[in-house]
Amino acid sequence: MQNAPTTEQVAAGIRRRVFEHAIRNNGGYLSQACSAAEQLAFLYNEALNLGPSTMPMVPPPFAGVPSANNPDYVTGAGYNGPFTPEYDRLFIAPAHYALVAYACLIETGRMAPEGLEMFNKDGSSVEMIGAEHSPGMEVHNGTLGIGLSTAAGLAWGRKRKGEAGNVCVFMSDGEVQEGQTWEAVQAAAHHGIDNLWALMDVNRQQCDGAMDDVMRVGDIATKLRNFGAVVAEIDAHDLTALRQARALPHEGQPLIILAHSSPTKGMDFLMRRFPRLHYVRFKSEEERREMNIAIAAELGIAPIELEDH
């Protein structure tokens, strides 16, 4: 029996797994692993009160969407533990972080490494954009901005029922461009929903590139405070700071932690692709080989062995 991994080890493992997957599959959501590794590791490994997974280590294949004719339908919530009053719930709002979240499930012993082999394969539940039935996903969040509202509703309901479990949302900063995010914050504040908290990956990147070029959002912290949230701003890669932020009192208000992250943390070689980091696809075999060697060195591992094509 091994000792439980430290949060640092989980974060390092997330970066390694996502990197290996991206190299093997000629691209992937690499920068999300760079920015969010510590955050997801922190949530799964220490911040959240999650029970043991109720789901098989190797994810079952896609078994149909919810319908009256599909009574056996289950979501991916079971990977985050049983849905019972004492445990926390986690919504991963930016569903395109799925690969990073799956890597985190593996690193925390909730999913077998083989699960990642099913990523984005037809007929698999381990979908590229996390669906409600994908491991670790509890609701559909693929359209950005709906996660915090859903979590606020769930949290209000849990509070009404006297349940001890909190509701946490892992968010992306691009979501503050959506009006619904602000509607959600004002509603959570108005209704005093303080069993709700969010951890936002502020990497200042979005699909089209740097957020400042796509749509400037100003000072997110001030805006969130004005809408009624308690806000902490920290370095996303500093676990001590994450712990302190989570401990902030926020009675009667939601807590939102702005985790300022580097989209290339741990893989500085990716800066060559800045600011187009949303999905890193290799432009040539040569670039792939070059990245394999350089980033593997940064991660302290041997380059990934590639099969000949």
Partner 1 sequence: MEMVNRPYARAFEQYATQHPEVLCLSADLTSSCEIDGFRDRHPDQFLSMGMAEQNMLSFAGGLGLAGFRPFIHSFGVFLYRRPYDQLMASIAYPRRKVRLMGFLPGITTPGGMTHQAIEDIALMRAIPNMTVLEAGDATEVESIVAEADAVDGPVYCRILRGSVPRLFATPMKIGQIRVLAEGSDVLVVTAGIATEEALRARAALAEAGVSVRHLHLNTHKPFDAAQIVDHAASVRHGVVTLENHLVTGGIGSMVAEALAEAGLPRRLVRLGLQDTYAHGGSRPYLMRYYGLDALSLVRAVEQVAGQQTGITEESLETVRIDAVHSAVKAEAL
Q: Which residue do the tokens 């309901």 mark?
A: 157
Q: Which 57-76 residues touch partner 1, going by CB under 8 A?
A: 65-68, 75
- Cβ closest to partner 1, residue 196 vs residue 295: 196
Residue 87 in contact with partner 1, rule: CB under 8 A: no
Main-chain dihedrals φ then ψ at residue 281, nearest 5 degrees: -115, 135
Q: Which 125-164 residues touch partner 1, going by CB under 8 A?
A: 132, 139-143, 145-146, 149-158, 160-161
**Closest separation between CB of residue 7 and partner 1, Å?**
28
Q: Which 160-199 residues touch partner 1, going by CB under 8 A?
A: 160-161, 179-180, 183-184, 186-187, 190-191
**Closest separation between CB of residue 45 and partner 1, Å?**
25
User: How many residues lie near partner 1 (CB under 8 A)?
Assistant: 33
- Cβ closest to partner 1, residue 160 vs residue 216: 160
- Cβ closest to partner 1, residue 56 vs residue 157: 157
- Cβ closest to partner 1, residue 28 vs residue 147: 147
Considering only CA atoms, which of 41, 17, 39 is closest in space to residue 28?
A: 17
Q: Which amino acid belongs to residue 74?
A: V
Q: How far, in Å, are 2, 15, 55, 130, 151 from residue 81 at the CA level?
A: 21, 24, 8, 17, 17
CA-CA distance, 87 to 51, in Å (whole number)?
A: 6
**Closest separation between CB of residue 179 and partner 1, Å?**
7
Residues 245 and 232: beta-carbon distance below 8 Å: yes
Q: How far, in Å, are 106, 192, 213, 296, 305 from residue 302 at the CA level?
A: 20, 50, 37, 6, 8
**Which 8-state DSSP code applies to residue 209?**
E
**Closest separation between CB of residue 5 and partner 1, Å?**
31
Enumerate residues 6+ apart whose C-beta is below 8 A from 57: 110, 111, 112, 115
**Closest separation between CB of residue 148 and partner 1, Å?**
8
**Closest separation between CB of residue 162 and partner 1, Å?**
12
Site string for partner 1, 18-57 (x = CB under 8 A): ----------------------------------------
Enumerate residues 6+ apart whose C-beta is below 8 A from 54: 78, 79, 81, 82
- Cβ closest to partner 1, residue 155 vs residue 236: 155
CA-CA distance, 209 to 202, in Å (whole number)?
A: 14
- Cβ closest to partner 1, residue 32 vs residue 181: 181
- Cβ closest to partner 1, residue 14 vs residue 137: 137
Q: Which two tokens stand for residue 19?
A: 């990197």
Pairing of strands 205-206, 209-210: antiparallel
Q: Which 211-270 residues touch partner 1, going by CB under 8 A?
A: none
**Closest separation between CB of residue 218 and partner 1, Å?**
20
Q: Which residue do the tokens 């504040």 mark?
A: 189
Peptide bond into 113 cis (omega under 30): no
**Closest separation between CB of residue 42 and partner 1, Å?**
24
Question: How many helices (H) and strands (E) in the chain?
Answer: 10, 9
**Hey, how many other C-beta atoms are within 10 angstroms of the C-beta on 50?**
21
- Cβ closest to partner 1, residue 9 vs residue 180: 180
Residues that bind partner 1 (CB under 8 A): 65-68, 75, 132, 139-143, 145-146, 149-158, 160-161, 179-180, 183-184, 186-187, 190-191
